[in-house]
Amino acid sequence: MSATPVRTPVGIVGAGPAGLFLAHLLHRQGIESVVLETRSREEVEGTIRAGVLEQWTVDLMQDLGLGDRMRREGHFHRGITLRFNGESWHLDFEDLTGGKRVTVYPQHEVLRDLIAARLANGGEIRFGVQDVQLHGLTTDRPRITYRNGDGEPEELHCDFIAGCDGSQGTSRQHVEGRTEYQHLYPFGWLGILVEAPPSHHELIYARHGRGFALLSTRSPDIQRMYLQCGPTDNAADFPDDLIWSELHRRLETVDGWTLTEGRIFQKNVIGMRSFVCDRMQHGRLYIAGDAAHIVPPTGAKGLNLAVADAVYLARGLEDFYGRGRRDRLEQYTATCLRRIWKAERFSWYMTTMLHTNPAEDPFEQRIHLADLDYVVHSRAAATALAENYVGLPLD
């Protein structure tokens, strides 16, 4: 027997960046919501994912009162270093963009902050729910059915549903008339976590004949590094000695810079793909975050795109409840897609420029090196890269 249905203005499916930011943005405007999440709180907070926050995302967290720990523990980078042909070139983002920079603060830490603040404010997050189903999306009374953590059926009645349940969630499947665009890259990343002090003060993106490499930081004692590998490779097939050998070769410089080694305590391989769903709403359902788009991590756009979706959707809902206007909700897909396709373009550009693609001929390989050479010697080209990396304006 189903429990008495719960009523809330907005039902949010998914406690990832899009869903949690949306909940906080709505709460600030006095619009209540309930967040449903299939994973436990421990699973959400324990899923380790890197995070590079654009300037406006950092500003938004501070504006929402969520930035205290980020300010203490995040790493604020003035720019990045591009490395190719054994030489390093620093791109000074603050100089190129009028003072903007990026913040390295892992996504799981962002989620911990959002969850803690949401619960402290009395907001609801129902973890561990199962069998989530959406109903009545083309009516003015949509509802969500699910089973709670004890397996009992429950219902959530809403005015609107936000599908923020990721690329494997159910929400996108309810968007009728959609077209899905996808591009699979012929390589992946082997990611490692290392107990070691930083080898460099900012991110290093390296292109090498043997493949791409990325040097990042997680904390003063933990570093994150990546190696280009095959998309279906198994992390267990990469012994530590091989990993260090490849990292040294791909990151080496003619001036004798050295990489600091340490104990590798985590390895994983991630595939690389781009994905866009060209319709992000159906009736009273609006999808956001990974449910609507995926970018390769080279451009550091994934989390920031999810937050932008949440901002645009929150604005539409604020207009609906505060002014009785629907125009922003009606334009939600078009507004989001303008930003999404620019982020997809930039992520594709960074990925193809920095990786060695076995399917490309020597001519194409030289074009990518010429592109890198142009970026580091042209202020206009460097500015274009910097503007995209630190985050394009929301409006």
Does 173 share its domain with 191? no
**Could you say which of 24, 174, 301, 355 is catalytic?**
301
- Beta-carbon count within 10 A of 192 CB: 22
For residue 222, the domain's CATH number is: 3.30.9.10
- What digits encode the pLDDT tens for the residues 230-287? 999 999 999 999 999 999 999 999 888 899 999 999 999 999 999 999 999 999 999 9
Confidence (pLDDT) at 2: 56
For tokens 């909700």, the residue is 329
Does 25 share its domain with 174? yes
Burial class (CB in 10 A: 0-12, 13-18, 19+), 393: exposed
For residue 19, give Cα distances in angstroms to 33, 157, 163, 290, 313: 10, 17, 8, 11, 11
Confidence (pLDDT) at 50: 77
Integer-rounded Cα Rg, in Å, for the chain is 22
Render 67-123 in DSSP notation, one character per residue. -HHHHHH-EEESEEEEEETTEEEEEEHHHHTTS--EEE--HHHHHHHHHHHHHHTT-
- What digits encode the pLDDT tens for the residues 35-88? 999 999 999 998 878 789 999 999 999 999 999 999 999 989 999 999 999 999
Helix 332-354 to helix 379-390 angle, to the nearest 10 degrees?
130
For residue 317, the domain's CATH number is: 3.50.50.60
pTM, two decimals, is 0.95
- Is 90 an active-site residue? no
Structurally, how many domains does the chain consist of?
A: 2
Q: Classify residue 33: in a domain, yes or no.
A: yes
pLDDT at 1 over 60: no
Confidence (pLDDT) at 332: 98
Helix 55-63 to helix 302-323 angle, to the nearest 10 degrees?
50
**Could you say which of 77, 174, 293, 368 is catalytic?**
77
Q: Classify residue 384: in a domain, yes or no.
A: no
Residue 213 contacts residue 247 (beta carbons within 8 Å): yes
Confidence (pLDDT) at 4: 78
Does 144 share its domain with 197? no
Does 53 share its domain with 106? yes
- What digits encode the pLDDT tens for the residues 18-38? 999 999 999 999 999 999 999
- Is 301 an active-site residue? yes
- Is 389 an active-site residue? yes
- Is 205 an active-site residue? yes
Does 128 share its domain with 241? no
**Could you say which of 205, 286, 312, 332 is catalytic?**
205
For residue 38, what are the domain limits? 6-75+102-181+274-349
